[in-house]
Structure 1
Amino acid sequence: MTSTTPLWLYSGDRVAPLTETVAAIGPAEFAAYQSLGFLAVRSLLTHEEAEEAIDGLATVARPQSPALVEFEAWAQPDELDGDDLLDGVRKLMWFSQHEPRLTALARHPGIISTVARLLDAEPALAQDMALLKPPGGGREKPWHQDKAFFDIPLGTPVVGVWIALDEATLDNGCMHVLPGTHTEGPVVHFQRRDFQICDTEVQVHRDTAVPLPPGGVLFFDGLLHHGTPPNLTTTRRRAVQLHYVPAETPQTPEQERLGVFGADGKDATC
């Protein structure tokens, strides 16, 4: 498959350092999170836990699923199962309440304890999602800010938790971030390849890639600019992303969010 993504958007010239485990996160690591907007950890899930999460996704990734499942146009979900079924899925959402292994993942003690410290509050799960990149055609998720998708008060802190279930590499679509952009406020988004920051506004010179082994995790601020390039390799790149906010965070009207981030650029151009 030929990618339509401008690959110059993802240089990968810099690679983020990894903290070994969540138990090794100390004051220096939390200070770095506040400054950079992200914290990458090499080992969170065991091999068995990562495999259980994949099996859990395959269980809910089916027609008539209680979760939200978006299949690629070419997929034949009634004829597939396991890894082959997941290869046909573009996006899964709202699955943790329907599958015990995914419920356990969203409640993982290492995640909850770390997010509570980053939020300085009791965390509540605001969203669960899996964006899957099959071999030879997993699509890009363009540069964006996650808070552009949440109808919550603008000042509410959001912590994203991106968990690699397969090895996430520079070639198969690992996460890329722009360190420090979480301190620069909301950016107008446009509906182009997705709801995204305009390509010409991406500060590519700040690009930092975050390759992770299976079971590795990236914690990041909801205003951090981030994206993932396409997977044009022969390997799978599957990941789960969870978002947490302080407990009892209220919902706000969609118009308030779009008034800040833009329904399609507001009064800006792209």
Structure 2
Amino acid sequence: MTNTIPTTLYRAERLAPLLDSADDIGDAETDSYRGLGFLAVRSLLTDSEVRGVLDGLAAVVRTPSAASVDFEKWAQPQELDPDNLLDGVRKLQGFCAHEPRLAELARHPAILTTVARLLGAEPVLTQDMALLKPPGGGREKPWHQDKAFFDIPLGTPVVGVWIALDEATIDNGCMHVLPGTHEEGPVVHFVRRDFQICDTEVQTHRDTAVPLPPGGALFFDGLLHHGTPPNLTETRRRAVQLHYVPAGTVRTPTEDRLEVFGAEGKDATC
């Protein structure tokens, strides 16, 4: 398989419904989450909070720390405007321990209250990450399950919170999900464009796009199939993602995870 992205891999015929805010999540909405594997809200963060998160991410990129910063392959950091370094960044990870504004985000009351409801347990942050899609060259994040990346017991519930920091649109790489796939168990992943579900196994007929305004958010199950197409527009599509597990969750050997989700080439070809 080449690194070419099939043109039919992401579809936009179906859009996810949006609740106005996390305050609208009650028993019926929680039941819907259990069945679909996701909930989306139009407004989670205020404009001021969004700006604070963006400023925090920019500070992480400008200041060397233990946080992980990966630039797009085409980007030359030394040639980028120091005030716009985020325009060349592919991914940031592990920043909450180094940037107070981002640590505050992870403790946001609306996030913790919602995640506790969806987990059915006290939530603990297990991963913080930002996947950015700079204008004109933000890469795809292929279809995958987030639990394929976490060394935790297989039966542990995981809730991801994906927060748009710019307008996330069909054209610039908003989130796409396959409703209900979280109930179908782990899927073998392969190293192709990323650690991903094989393109030929993606059930694109179930594709539901989740465009969001700045400050909008998607809550989703760690086994839900999801991905984001590339950003080929001249607009920014920046987002931050947090993952939570129940308090007391232990880590397991990486080998246990790969036995389930597949080391490269396990059981099939792609």
TM superposition score category, shorter chain reference = over 0.9
Q: What is the CA-CA distance between 1:146 and the residue it aligns to? A: 0.2
**Cα 1:199–1:16, aligned 2, differ >3 Å: closer, same or farther?**
same
Contact in 2 for aligned 1:38/1:218 (Cα 8 Å) = yes
Q: Counterpart of 1:267?
A: 267
Contact in 1 for aligned 2:72/2:138 (Cα 8 Å) = no
Distance 1:142 1:63 in 2: 30
Q: Counterpart of 2:97?
A: 97
Q: Counterpart of 2:246?
A: 246
Contact in 1 for aligned 2:171/2:232 (Cα 8 Å) = yes
Distance 2:81 2:55 in 1: 10
Q: Counterpart of 1:76?
A: 76
Q: Residue 74 of structure 1 aligns to which amino acid in structure 2?
A: W
Distance 1:45 1:7 in 2: 33
- CA-to-partner distance for each residue in 1:104-144, whole Å, 9 max, x for gaps? 11110000000001111110000000000011111000000
Contact in 1 for aligned 2:65/2:98 (Cα 8 Å) = no
Q: Counterpart of 1:58?
A: 58
Q: What is the CA-CA distance between 1:84 and the residue it aligns to? A: 2.2
Q: Residue 172 of structure 1 aligns to which amino acid in structure 2?
A: N
Secondary structure class of the residue paired with 2:212: coil
Q: Counterpart of 2:24?
A: 24
- CA-to-partner distance for each residue in 1:69-128, whole Å, 9 max, x for gaps? 111233232444566200111110000111111011111000000000111111000000
**Cα 1:82–1:41, aligned 2, differ >3 Å: closer, same or farther?**
farther
| Equivalent residues, number | 268
Distance 2:199 2:76 in 1: 33
Superposed CA RMSD: 1.3
- CA-to-partner distance for each residue in 1:50-79, whole Å, 9 max, x for gaps? 011011000001373321111123323244
Contact in 2 for aligned 1:147/1:158 (Cα 8 Å) = yes
**Cα 1:136–1:55, aligned 2, differ >3 Å: closer, same or farther?**
same
Distance 1:121 1:26 in 2: 16
Secondary structure class of the residue paired with 1:118: helix
**Cα 1:226–1:83, aligned 2, differ >3 Å: closer, same or farther?**
farther
Q: What is the CA-CA distance between 1:266 and the residue it aligns to? A: 0.9
Q: Residue 140 of structure 1 aligns to which amino acid in structure 2?
A: E
Q: TM-score, normalised by structure 2?
A: 0.96
Structure 1: gaps (5+ residues): none
Q: Residue 134 of structure 1 aligns to which amino acid in structure 2?
A: P
Distance 1:130 1:265 in 2: 28
Structure 2: gaps (5+ residues): none
**Cα 1:49–1:24, aligned 2, differ >3 Å: closer, same or farther?**
same
Q: What is the CA-CA distance between 1:7 and the residue it aligns to? A: 2.7
Distance 2:189 2:232 in 1: 26
